[in-house]
Amino acid sequence: MRFYLSRITISGFFLIIVFCLAVKYAEGQTTVARIDSLKKELLKAGEDSNKVEILRQLGNEVGYIDPGQALEYAQEGYNLSNKINYEFGIGTMAYILGFLNQDLNNYSLSDSFLILAEEKFRELDLPGQLAKVEHARGVQAYKQGNYWAAADFFAKNVKIFEDIKDSSSATIAYQSLIAVLGQVKNHEKAIELSKKALLLAKQTNDTVSINYLLQLLVTNLVYAERMDEASDYITRLREIAETVTDQFLAGDLYSTIGTYFYRDKDFPQAVVFYEKALEKSILINDKYQQANHYSALGQAYLEMGRPDDCRDHLFASLQLAREYQNKRGEYNVSLSLSNYYKSIKDFHKAYEYLSWHQEMTNSIMKEETRNYTAYLEASFEASKKENEILRLEKVQQEKEYQLKRSTLLLFVGAGLIAALLAILYLLRRNHRNKEKIAAERSALLEEKVKNVEKEQQIVSLQSMINGQETERTRIAKELHDGLGSVFSTVKMHYSTLQQETPEIKGNPLYRKTLDLIDKASDELRTVAHNMMPEVLMKVGLVDALQDFCNNINSGKLLTIRLQTYGMDKRLNSSTEIMLYRIVQELIHNILKHAEATEALIQINRQENRLSLIIDDNGRGFDTREAAEKRTMGMSTVKSRVDYLNGRLTIDSRKDIGTTIMIDLLIHE
Amino acid sequence: MIKILIIDDHPLVIDGIQTMLKDEGCFHIEAAVKTGADALDFVTNHPPADIILLDINLPDTDGLRLCETIRAINKTVKIIALTHINEAGIITQMIKKGANGYLLKSMEREELIEAIHKVTEGSIYLSKAANEKVIQQLQHLDLPTGQVPVLTLREKEILQLLYEGLTSQEIAGRLFLSNYTVDTHRKNMLQKFNVHNTQSLLNAVRKLGVID
C-alpha cells in the first residue's frame, strides 16, 4: 500500500510538467487554428532568426499532438540556427529537441541535447532558460527512477527561479520538487514546501497550480499521518474534482480522497472515491492509473470482508499492470493478492505471491541503491567542479573590477584604447575559461561511463565475496563439529581414566598428553573463530565487534573504543559479516602501519542510513602518496564496501591521524 | 538422584559424557536428544529433569534461543551450556537467556561434576576459560550508559568551526572535505547527543564540557 499513493503523485506530476511548460511557451494558445496560422507564416519566412522563432513555436504546439512531427520542426530550427549562427536559437531548439525526445522515450538522445542546451544558455548567461533545461533534466532523472538526482535538479531550479523573481516558473519547479520528495518519502518536507508554494501560487492567482498543489499537500499529509490536518481539505478537494475540466487532475484528486478514507479506515467511503477515480482514468484511457485504482479497490474490498470483489479487482489490476509494464503496479498487487489468499486460507498461493513480491522488492531496491550511490558520487564530483567554476568566475570578476578602475584614471583617449584592450583581453580570457569548463564537463561524462563499468564489476565481485563468506562459515562449522568433537571426547575419556586407574596420575606423560590435547583444541577454536565468530552469527554485529575490540585491547598495543548508535535492531547477516570484516581489516591495517595508540570505532544508524567511522591517532599519510602504498590493505576493504554499494572516504593528515568513513543505505 | 537431559547432536560427545558420569552413583542420564524439537518434546511431555546439558550449535535451532524457550516453560530446571565456543558475547547472552552454567567441551571430568553440584545448589558456574573471557570483557567495557560520547578527530574540528558560526559548506571548504562528508559527521553528532539541530548540539556540548 505504501507505494500506491506515490504512484498517483507521479502521474499528476508528469502532467504538471508537460502541461505547464506548454502553457508557458505557447502563451496560453493551444489550438489547431494557431498551428495552421504558424504553418502559413512558416511558408512566407526567410532563412533568418524569425523563422527559427516560428519553428520553435511549432515544435512546442505540435509536440502535444504529434511529438514525431514536432521533432522534424525542431530539427529544422536547430539546423537553421546553426547555419545562420543564431546562438539563442541553437540553445532553445536543443532544449525542445531534448524534451521531445524525452516524450518519445529516447533518453540518451534527450540527454545529449539537454546538455548542449545547458552549455549554450550558460554561455549566453540566461539563468531563466538554463533553469528550464535543468528542470527537464530533473524530469529525465525522475522518469528513470533516479529520485535523488531529480530532487537535486529541482531544488536548484527553485532557487534560480526565485532569484530571477519568476514566481510562476518557481511554482512549477516547487511542484516537481514536492512530487519527488513524496516519492523518496520525505513527506514532512513536502508538506512544508507545498504550503510555501501555495502562498506563491495564490499571489499570482495561478488556479491550475493551486489545484495541483492542494492535491500534493493532502497526499503528503495523509502519508505523514497528519489526518486531522488532511481532513480540513477534503471537502475542498471534492469541489475541485467535481468542477475542474482537467480529467487527469480530477482522477488524481478522487484517488487522494479515496486514500484519505482508506487510511482513516472508512473503507466504504474509500470505495466510493476510488470508483470515481477509476471512472476518470477509463474516460481518459490512462491504463497506468487504471491498474493502480483497481488495486486500491481490491484492497479496500479485502478490508470490508468482500473477498470475491477483492479478487476480481486485484486480477483486473494485475492484468493491466502486466500488459502495460507497470512494474510498481505489479509489485503492489502481488502483495495484495498474497493477503487475499491468506484471508481465504489458501496459504500455498499466498506464499507464492509473497515470494514473487519479495523478488520484485529486491530488484527495485537494488535499482534504488545503485541510483543513490551513483548520485552520491556524481554530486560529490559536481560539488568539486562547481567550486572550481566559482573560483574561476571570481578571479575573472576581480580582474574585471581592477581594469574598470584603471580605465577611469586614464585620459579619455588612452582610456578608450585601454578599454578596448581590456575587452579583448577579457574575451580571450572568457573563451579560455569556457574551454576549460567544457573540458571538465566531458571529463564528468567520461566518469559516468566509468561508473556504469564499475557497476558491472561490482555484480561479479558480490557473488565472489558471498561465496567466500559462505565457505568460511561452512569450514568453521565443520571444524567445530568434526575435529572439535573428537578432541573434546578424547579429553573426556582420558580424564575419566585417572578416576579408574589413580596411579596413572603419577606418570608425567599423562599430564603432558592432557596439556597437548588442550593446546590442540584451543588452537582449533582460534582458527574456527577467525573463520567466522559465533557471536557474529548468533548475537549480532555490535557484540561481535565488542569481543573483537576486547581481544585487541588485551594485547595492549592499541586501545580501541567502540561507540554505536541506533543499532538495537540486527542488520541482515551478509551486511553484518561485511561490516565486521571491514573493521577487522582496517584495524589490522592500523596495527601494521599507523603506529597509533588509540582508535575509535563508531557506527551510526538512522533509519536506513548507516555510517561507520574508524579513526586513529597514528602518523597518518598523504592520501595521494598512499594511493599506491596502502592499496594492498585497502583494496579488499574497497571491494567489500562496493559489495555493500557504499561509499568509502579516506581522510588522513600526517602526524595527526586518519579517519575512514563508510556510508551506505540499509535495506530490510 | 540427579536426573540429567543431554541436548547434543554429536554421538561421540554423548558417549564421552556417559563415560565421565558412569561411576558417580548419584547421577542418572534420563535421555540424550539430538535436536531442539526433540528437546522441547521431552521437556513438555516427560517428568522434569534436574539438569540440562545444552549444546549451542544444534541442527534445527541455536542453543541461545532454545535456552530461552525452555526457561519460559520451566523456571526451576538448571541449564548448563556445553559447547566449543568460548566468546564473551555468547557466554553473557547465554546467562542472560537463563542458563545457570557454561562449560567448554574440553573440560575435565572433575569440572563437569563440580559444575553439576554447584548449579544444583543454586550457584552460577562458569568454566575457568569462560570466566577469563567474561572478566576480560568487563575490564575493557567502554562507555557504560549515561556517559558522555567520545568525539572523533574530525567531529571535534567540525564542532569547533560550528562554534565559530561557519556553515557546513564553509566548513567543508576550510577542512578540504566534501559537503557530504561534513554533513554525515554533523548528523552523526546530532544522533550521539540526541538532539535535533545544530544549535541544541552546541548547547549540549557546552553543557557537558566535551570541547574547550
Residue range A23-38: mean pLDDT, rounded: 59
Contact between residue B157 and residue B164 where contact means Cβ atoms under 8 Å apart: no
Question: What pLDDT, in 10s, does the model give residues A239-277?
Answer: 888 888 778 888 889 999 999 999 988 999 999 999 999
**B15 close contact with A: CB closer than 8 A:** yes
B154 touches chain A (CB under 8 A): yes
Are the beta carbons of A559 and A599 closer than 8 angstroms? yes
Looking at A375, A395, A430, the residue that finishes a domain is A375
Across the interface, whether the CB atoms of B137 and A485 are under 8 A apart is answered no
Q: A327-343 and A2-26 helices cross at what angle (nearest 10)?
A: 150
| Chain A residues within 8 A of B17 when measuring between CB atoms | 492
**B155 vs B168: CA distance, rounded Å:** 12
- Amino acid identity of A103? D
DSSP string, B26-95: TEEEEEEE-SHHHHHHHHHHSPPPSEEEE-SB-SSSBHHHHHHHHHHH-SSSEEEEEES---HHHHHHHH
Q: What is the CATH number of the domain that holds A602?
A: 3.30.565.10
Q: Which of A341, A375, A409 is the last residue of a domain?
A: A375
The Cα–Cα gap between B169 and A484 comes to 57
Residue B131 forms contact with A (CB below 8 Å): no
Higher pLDDT, B50 or A169: B50
Which residue bears the cell 542418572?
A: B28
How many CB pairs lie under 8 A apart between chains A and B?
A: 159
CA–CA min distance A544, chain B (Å): 7
The residue among A410 and B205 whose pLDDT is bigger is B205
- In this predicted model, what pLDDT tens digit does every residue of B51-87 receive, in sequence order? 999 999 888 888 999 999 999 998 899 999 999 888 8
What is the per-residue pLDDT for A446? 75
Choice among A3-7, A332-336, A613-617, B128-132 with the minimum mean pLDDT: A3-7
* Residue A353 domain flag: yes
Establish if A56 belongs to a structural domain: no
Residue A658 lies in a domain: yes
Hey, are the CB atoms on A544 and B62 less than 8 Å from each other?
A: no
Is residue B9 within 8 Å of B82, Cβ to Cβ? Answer: no
Q: List the domains of chain B with CATH numbers.
A: 2-140 (3.40.50.2300), 153-208 (1.10.10.10)
Instruction: Tell me the one-letter amino acid at B67.
Output: C
B93: closest CA of chain A, how far (Å): 8
Spatial separation of the C-alpha atoms in residues A407 and A91, rounded to whole Å = 35
User: Do B15 and A489 meet the contact criterion of CB atoms below 8 Å apart?
Assistant: yes
Residue A360 inside a domain? The answer is yes
Integer Cα distance of A313 and A320 in angstroms: 11
Closest CA to A298 of A275, A328, A322: A275
Contacts of A383 in chain B (CB under 8 A): 178-180
Q: What is the pLDDT of residue B102?
A: 95
Count of the separate structural domains present in chain A: 2
The answer to whether residue A449 is domain-embedded is no
Q: Are A534 and B105 an interchain contact pair (Cβ–Cβ within 8 Å)?
A: no
Q: Does residue A451 fall inside a structural domain?
A: no
Q: Residues of chain A with pLDDT > 90: what percent?
A: 11
What pLDDT shows up at residue A101? 82
| Per-residue model confidence (pLDDT) at position A626 | 56
Q: Please indicate whether, in this complex, the C-beta atoms of A604 and B15 are within 8 angstroms of each other.
A: no
DSSP state string for A5-18: HHHHHHHHHHHHHH
Q: Name every chain B residue with its beta carbon within 8 A of the beta carbon of A517.
A: 106
Report CA B80 to chain centroid distance, whole Å.
15
d(CA A520, CA A65): 82
Give the one of B64, B93, B188 whose C-beta lies nearest to A611's C-beta. Answer: B188
**Are A92 and A117 a contacting pair, CB within 8 Å?**
yes
CATH code of residue A336: 1.25.40.10
Query: Can you give the pLDDT at residue A654?
Result: 82
> How confident is the model at residue A402, as a pLDDT?
64
Residue A351 within a domain: yes
For residue B136, give the nearest of A387, A529, A554 by CB distance. A554
Please give the Cα distance from B117 to B132 (Å, whole number). 21
Using CA atoms, how far residue A246 sits from A3, A6, A251, in Å, is: 24, 20, 9
* Shortest Cα–Cα distance, B10 to chain A (Å): 7
**pLDDT band at A629; cut points 50, 70, 90:** low
DSSP reduced 3-state for A409: helix
Of the three residues A312, A346, A375, the one that is the final residue of a domain is A375
Chain A residues in contact with B54 (beta carbon < 8 A): none
Average model confidence (pLDDT) for chain A? 80
Please check whether residue A140 lies inside any domain of the structure. Answer: no
CB spacing of B180 vs A521 below 8 angstroms: no
Distances (CA, A) of A219 to A287, A546, A616: 21, 45, 48
ipTM: 0.81
Residue A332: predicted pLDDT: 84
Q: State the alpha helices, DSSP H only, in A324-411.
A: 327-343, 347-409
- State the pLDDT at residue A641: 87
Closest C-alpha to A141, from A171, A177, A116, A166: A177
| Residues A338-386 pLDDT 10s | 888 888 888 788 888 888 887 777 777 666 666 665 555 555 555 555 5
pLDDT in tens, A220-240: 998 888 888 888 888 888 888
Query: Helix A631-643 vs helix A412-478: angle between axes, to the nearest 10 degrees?
Result: 80
| pLDDT per residue as tens digits for the range A491-549 | 888 888 888 888 888 888 888 888 898 889 888 888 888 888 989 988 999 999 988 99
Q: Which residue has the higher pLDDT, B30 or A111?
A: B30
Element (H, E) at A321: helix A307-323
Directed axis angle between helix A541-553 and helix B88-96, to 10°? 130
Task: Supply the pLDDT for residue B135.
Answer: 84
CB environment A160-183: b (16+ within 10 A), e (fewer)? bbbeeebbbbbbbbbbbbbbbbbb
Q: Point out the least confidently predicted range of A16-25, A304-313, A622-631, B27-36.
A: A16-25
Range of the domain at A348: 287-375
Q: Tell me, what's the pLDDT at A223?
A: 87
Q: Report CA A8 to chain centroid distance, whole Å.
A: 19
